[in-house]
A = this chain, B = another copy of it.
Amino acid sequence: MPTQLENAMDTLIKIFHHYSGKEGDKYKLNKGELKQLLTSELTDFLSCQKDPQLVDKIMKDMDINKDNEVDFNEFVILVAALTVACNDFLEEQLKKGNW
């Protein structure tokens, strides 16, 4: 039976392919697919953001090899960066004794 960590890794792979498989290259997210993934799967994160250009900016930042598509490696880097930001915030609050 998979562990929680193995399940989390599996979830990242499944979510990526759920959106990347919708159109065009099955193994890459185009801008429309990325927007759908971000708005459906990072709802709380995006709801705090007021910048209408946010998806364009994220696309530009994530698309390291500049092919206007996001592959799995590029996607995992975004998820890792967001998770580190959440953890930094949590550790800061714990150190301040807020939680």
A84 close to B (CB within 8 Å): yes
Instruction: Say whether chain A's binding surface is mostly helix, strand, loop, or mixed.
Output: helix
Number of chain A residues close to chain B: CB under 8 A = 33
A13 to chain B: closest CB distance in Å? 5
Name the segment of A52-60, A62-70, A75-83 touching the other chain. Answer: A75-83
If the complex has contacts A9-B83, A42-B3, A72-B84, are A91 and B27 also in contact, measured as CB distance less than 8 A? yes
A5 to B86: give the CA distance in the assembly, Å: 13
A97 close to B (CB within 8 Å): no
A87 to B77: give the CA distance in the assembly, Å: 14
Q: Add 17 more A-B contacts to A7-B8, A13-B83, A16-B87 (CB < 8 A).
A: A4-B11, A4-B15, A4-B41, A5-B41, A6-B42, A6-B45, A8-B9, A8-B11, A8-B12, A8-B79, A9-B79, A9-B83, A13-B87, A72-B84, A72-B87, A76-B83, A76-B84
